[in-house]
Structures are given as C-alpha cells and as structure tokens.
C-alpha cells in the first residue's frame, strides 16, 4: 500500500508490534508535606469509584472539611514512614518493575515493563503517552491489587480508558482484573508466612487483615469480600491451620458508614483482652508496603493490641519485591505475551 507523502512507515499505519507490561498501584503523595498530601487526597477522594456519595454533597464535604483538616495529619503519618528513597510504595513498585523486567528478559527480551500510580505520579496517563510515543501497541496491564475491587481495579481501568479515548490508534489491551486465587500468589503468601513462623515461632493467632470497604459495596455486587475470604481459605489450607489458628479482618475504614467486618483494630483489642497475647498480622491485599501497613498495622494497631494487654505482636511484611512475588507476576503476564 502506498504511503502518504511525507509520512514514514513509523508515522503511518504499519503495526509497530512493541509489547509492554504496565504495573499499576494505588499511589502516593510526591512528598510528606501538607500541600502534596492535599493534592493527592483531592485526586484520590474525588474518584466516584472510591466515594460513592452524590457528587455535589461530597464536594462540599471534601473541600469544606476533609481537605482543610486531614492533609496536615496525614502528612505527619507519611513523614513517619518516608525513607531516603522517598515513598515506600513508589520505591517498592519501581523495584518490582525493574526485577520483573530482568525476569522477563530471560524469555521475552523484547517486552518492556513500566509502572504507574492510579493517583499521584507517575500517572497512568503520562506513562501510557510515553509508551505510545515509543511505539508500544500491545499492552498487558497488571493492577497490583490481588483481590478485585471497584475502588481499586475498576478505577485503574477507568483511568486507562479515559486516556485511550483521546487516541486515534488504540493498542491491543489485556487487562488482568484479579489474581486472588492464583496458585503462585497463594504460594508466595504461604512461603512468606512459613518463613516468619520458622524465624519467630507460630503465634497463637494469625490475623489476615485486608483493606476494608463499605459493606454497601458488597450488597451492590462487588466481589472483593468473597475474593478475600477465598484467599484466606487457600492460604490456611496450604498451611494446615485450624479454624482457631487464624482470623480474617478488615482495616482502614473511613467515615461513619458500616464497613466490612470484623474490623482489624477492634479484633486485636478483643483478642488481647481474651488472653490471645501473641499474634502475627499479614495483609494479603497489599502487594507493596505503604502507609496502611507500615504505619497503621505495624504501629497503630500494635499499640491497640499492647494497650489491651497483648504481649507479642508482629507484622509480616508485604510480598514487595520478593523473588517469588516477581516470579508470580511473570507467570501471570507471560501467557498474554
């Protein structure tokens, strides 16, 4: 087919056939300051997938109350976990991307690996634009939320769709929407727990704490709760735990509405009061350690437990850039490559 005058093959209609994997995580402020946190929260809490209150009512609450009071408090919490490399979530996601690139290079050397944040930087739109400019037209998206949920997984798809709506030449797109029961994911969790038990001893109770969401989401059809319960079941079956050895809980509730129960902090307090004074907590819904694990679980909830007479409390880190975790990612995306 004849080319249009002045257009090279790269600029014309010939397929470019460059493949890429895009890892997506939730996001983080650029810095632990009130202004950066305010900007991050404004983007995050303006997403109707995250807060389903009628927009006009929520806009008044968000801008009239929350963004006036919460940024300074949240900034102090972010500052407590910030490292020389910056945000732990961003740093870990970057390492995951780099290690996945190295892992895939053994079998798929032509595949690029990128990462983006749903809120904050690098944004999904900016990373997609960069990929497009370098000729990528076949994208496999892996949102790093093991259990599908509308406020996380679906919101990531929304952001991708919003950007692609502006493109004339759309890429081939594979969107992996959940991996809550993938054998490699379960195995990575199980090995992480086994390693902790071997090092620190088996606790009286293993607490599997997942990020919470309003109970209303479940009644409206979001499968997140069911996926969390299945992850727990597969993990404890593999570990050979009995019913009294573990419990599934939900953390990070926000606002006055009823959220998925039991709540993590209330459960830890109750366990300690009832004589269960030795617990280990793992957060299977988090693919990388962040504010909700490093500050809320590792610090705040430890205080709750100890103040209720609990003696031994430990947090089992997220899978982060552990080798089995990277191998899992590679195996999940490889079938799409």
Q: What is the pLDDT of residue 256?
A: 84
Query: Which residue blocks in the chain are alpha helix, DSSP H?
Result: 34-45, 55-61, 67-81, 88-104, 124-133, 155-164, 183-200, 215-219, 224-239, 264-273, 291, 301-307, 323-334
> In this model, does residue 10 exceed pLDDT 80?
no
Is the peptide bond prior to 262 cis by the omega test (within 30 degrees of 0)?
Answer: yes
Fold for domain 18-179+324-334? Rossmann fold (3.40.50)
CATH number of 183-316: 3.40.50.1400
Residue positions in the annotated binding site for Fe(2+)?
211, 292
Q: How far apart are CA 276 and CA 312, in angstroms?
A: 9
Q: Domain residues of the chain, as ranges?
A: 18-179+324-334, 183-316
* Average pLDDT value for the chain: 95
Q: Model confidence over 254-286: pLDDT tens digits?
A: 888 899 999 999 999 999 999 999 999 999 999
Task: Answer whether 148's CB lies under 8 Å from 177's CB.
Answer: yes
**Closest by CA position to 80, among listed 280, 300, 264:** 300
**Closest by CA position to 224, among listed 234, 212, 236:** 212
Q: How far apart are CA 127 and CA 233, in angstroms?
A: 36
Banded model confidence at residue 17, pLDDT cuts 50, 70, 90: confident
Q: What is the 3-class SS of 236-284, one letter each residue?
A: HHHHCCCHHHEEEEEECCCCCCCECCCEHHHHHHHHHHCCCCEEEEECC
Check if 18-179+324-334 and 183-316 are the same fold: yes
Q: What is the pTM of this model?
A: 0.93
Q: Model confidence over 173-213: pLDDT tens digits?
A: 999 999 999 999 999 999 999 999 999 999 999 999 999 99
Task: Answer whether 267's CB lies under 8 Å from 297's CB.
Answer: no
Q: What is the pLDDT of residue 255?
A: 82
Q: How far apart are CA 178 and CA 147, in angstroms?
A: 6
Q: What is the pLDDT of residue 15?
A: 59
**Closest by CA position to 94, among listed 118, 122, 120, 119:** 122
Q: Model confidence over 290-318: pLDDT tens digits?
A: 999 999 999 999 999 999 999 999 999 99
Q: Model confidence over 150-176: pLDDT tens digits?
A: 999 999 999 999 999 999 999 999 999
> In this model, does residue 1 exceed pLDDT 90?
no
Tell which phi-psi region holds residue 311, choosing left (phi > 0), alpha (psi between -120 and 50) or beta: alpha
């Amino acid at each position: 087919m004849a080319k249009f005058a002045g257009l090279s093959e790269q600029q014309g209609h010939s397929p470019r056939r460059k493949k890429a994997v895009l890892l997506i995580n939730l996001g983080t402020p650029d810095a632990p300051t009130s202004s950066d946190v305010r900007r991050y929260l404004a983007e995050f809490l303006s997403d109707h997938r995250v807060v389903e209150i009628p927009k006009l009512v929520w806009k008044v609450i968000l801008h009239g109350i929350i963004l006036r009071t919460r940024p300074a408090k949240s900034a102090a919490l972010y500052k407590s976990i910030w490292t020389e490399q910056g945000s732990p979530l961003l740093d870990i996601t970057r390492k995951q991307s780099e290690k996945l690139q190295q892992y895939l290079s053994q079998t798929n050397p032509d595949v690029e690996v990128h990462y983006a944040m749903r809120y904050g930087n690098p944004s999904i739109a900016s990373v997609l634009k960069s990929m497009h400019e370098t000729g990528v037209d076949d994208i496999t998206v892996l949102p790093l939320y093991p259990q599908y949920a509308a406020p996380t997984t679906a919101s990531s798809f929304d952001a991708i769709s919003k950007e692609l709506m502006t493109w004339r030449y759309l890429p081939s797109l594979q969107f992996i929407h959940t991996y809550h029961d993938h054998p490699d994911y379960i195995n990575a969790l199980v090995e992480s727990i086994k390693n902790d038990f071997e090092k620190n001893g088996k606790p009286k109770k293993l607490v599997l704490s997942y990020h919470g969401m309003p109970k209303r989401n479940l009644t409206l059809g979001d499968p997140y709760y069911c996926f969390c319960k299945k992850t727990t079941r597969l993990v404890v079956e593999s570990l050979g735990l009995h019913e009294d050895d573990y419990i599934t809980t939900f953390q990070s509730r926000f606002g006055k509405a009823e959220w998925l129960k039991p709540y993590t902090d209330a459960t830890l307090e109750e366990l300690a009061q009832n004589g269960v004074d030795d617990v280990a907590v793992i957060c299977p819904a988090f693919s990388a350690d962040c504010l909700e694990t490093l500050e809320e679980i590792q610090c705040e909830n430890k205080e709750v437990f100890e103040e209720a007479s609990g003696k031994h409390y430990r947090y089992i880190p997220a899978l982060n850039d552990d080798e089995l975790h990277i191998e899992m990612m590679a195996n999940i995306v490889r079938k799409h490559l």
